[in-house]
Amino acid sequence: MTITKSNRINEIRANLLLSDGTTVQSRSSDIIVNGSNVGFSLDISGIELAEAESIRAQIIKAIQETTDFEKISVVLTSTRKNQSASNEKAKIQIEGVGKVLLVASGKGGVGKSMIASLLAHKLKADGKKVGIVDADIYGPSIPHLFSLKGKPELDDNKMVPLENYGIVVNSIGFLTEPSASISWRGPMVSKAIYQLLSLTNWGKLDYLIIDSPPGTGDIHLSILQNYIIDQVIMVTTPQKISEIDVSRAVSLYKKFNVPILGVIENMSYYVIPKTGESISIFTGDGGNKIASDHNLDLLTKLPIDPRISIACDAGADLSQFSYLLDTIKLP
Question: Total structural domains in the chain?
Answer: 2
pLDDT value at position 229?
A: 95
pLDDT of the chain, 331 residues: tens digit per residue: 455 777 888 888 988 888 888 889 888 888 888 778 888 888 888 888 888 888 988 999 989 888 888 888 888 887 654 444 444 568 889 989 999 999 999 899 999 999 999 999 999 999 999 999 999 988 899 999 999 999 999 998 899 999 999 999 999 999 877 666 676 667 788 888 999 999 999 999 999 999 999 988 889 999 999 999 999 999 999 999 999 999 999 999 999 999 999 999 999 999 998 898 999 999 999 999 999 999 999 999 999 999 999 999 999 999 999 999 999 998 8
Q: Confirm or deny that 329 is annotated as ligand binding.
A: no
pLDDT value at position 36?
A: 83
- The whole domain housing 235 covers 97-325
**Residue 309 forms part of a structural domain:** yes
* Spatial separation of the C-alpha atoms in residues 102 and 124, rounded to whole Å: 16
Q: Confirm or deny that 203 is annotated as ligand binding.
A: no
Q: Confirm or deny that 262 is annotated as ligand binding.
A: no
- Do residues 223 and 80 both lie within one domain? no
H/E stretch holding 9 reads helix 3-15
Collapse the DSSP code of 71 into the 3-class scheme (helix H, G, I; strand E, B; otherwise coil) and give the result: strand
* Spatial separation of the C-alpha atoms in residues 192 and 139, rounded to whole Å: 14
Q: Confirm or deny that 107 is annotated as ligand binding.
A: yes
pLDDT value at position 208?
A: 98
- Do residues 65 and 179 both lie within one domain? no
β-pair type (97-104, 205-211): parallel
**Residue 61 forms part of a structural domain:** yes
Q: Confirm or deny that 111 is annotated as ligand binding.
A: yes
Q: 102 - beta bridge partners? A: 210, 232
Collapse the DSSP code of 293 into the 3-class scheme (helix H, G, I; strand E, B; otherwise coil) and give the result: helix
- Do residues 192 and 316 both lie within one domain? yes
Tell me, what CATH number does 43's domain have? 3.30.70.1350
- Exposure string (b/e) for 283-296, b if CB count within 10 Å is 16 or more? ebbbbbbbbeebeb
Asked if residue 110 lies in contact with residue 218, where contact means CB atoms within 8 angstroms, the answer is: no
- Do residues 54 and 114 both lie within one domain? no
Q: Confirm or deny that 315 is annotated as ligand binding.
A: no
- Do residues 36 and 115 both lie within one domain? no
pLDDT value at position 34?
A: 77
DSSP letters for 117-147: HHHHHHHHHTT--EEEEE--SSS--HHHHTT
Asked if residue 47 lies in contact with residue 18, where contact means CB atoms within 8 angstroms, the answer is: yes
* Spatial separation of the C-alpha atoms in residues 53 and 200, rounded to whole Å: 16
- Do residues 8 and 120 both lie within one domain? no
- Do residues 129 and 223 both lie within one domain? yes
- Do residues 132 and 57 both lie within one domain? no
pLDDT value at position 10?
A: 86
- Do residues 136 and 177 both lie within one domain? yes
pLDDT value at position 46?
A: 82
β-pair type (278-279, 270-271): antiparallel
- Single out the residue in 74, 92, 110 at which a domain terminates: 92
- Do residues 261 and 239 both lie within one domain? yes
**Residue 330 forms part of a structural domain:** no
